[in-house]
């Protein structure tokens, strides 16, 4: 069975954080990061582990899917399925 892979959507994180009235240093502290790491996540320069994504979603009061992008590609057809 293939594992799903996710990429955090930094723009969504930033938007939810700002709507919650939290600045970067305060929110970073809530999720166990420093401000520079949070900034890198929000600008797409750094990814996040599933555990960190869950912590961020929990603190923002949103779902995992609200701040992630599913990067799993569609399965390829079996070899020979495309040949006629």
25-46 pLDDT per residue, tens: 999 999 999 999 999 999 999 9
Q: Return the CATH number of 6-70, one of 1.10.260.40, 1.10.10.10, 3.40.50.10420, 1.20.272.10.
A: 1.10.260.40
* CB hemisphere CA count around 70 (13 angstroms): 7
In the chain, domain spans: 6-70
d(CA 14, CA 27): 10
Residue 69: per-residue pLDDT: 87
Q: Name the token pair of 79.
A: 């070899």
pLDDT category at 70 given cuts 50, 70, 90 is: confident
> Does position 4 have pLDDT exceeding 80, yes or no?
no
Burial, 27: exposed, middle or buried (Cβ in 10 Å; 0-12, 13-18, 19+)? buried
């Amino acid at each position: 069975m293939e594992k799903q892979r996710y990429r955090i959507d930094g723009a969504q994180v930033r938007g939810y954080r700002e709507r919650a009235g939290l600045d970067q240093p305060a929110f970073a502290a809530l999720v166990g990061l420093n401000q520079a790491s949070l900034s890198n996540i929000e600008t797409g320069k750094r990814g996040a582990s599933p555990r960190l994504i869950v912590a961020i979603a929990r603190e923002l009061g949103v779902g995992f899917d609200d701040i992630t992008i599913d990067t799993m590609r569609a399965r390829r057809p079996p070899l020979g399925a495309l040949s006629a």
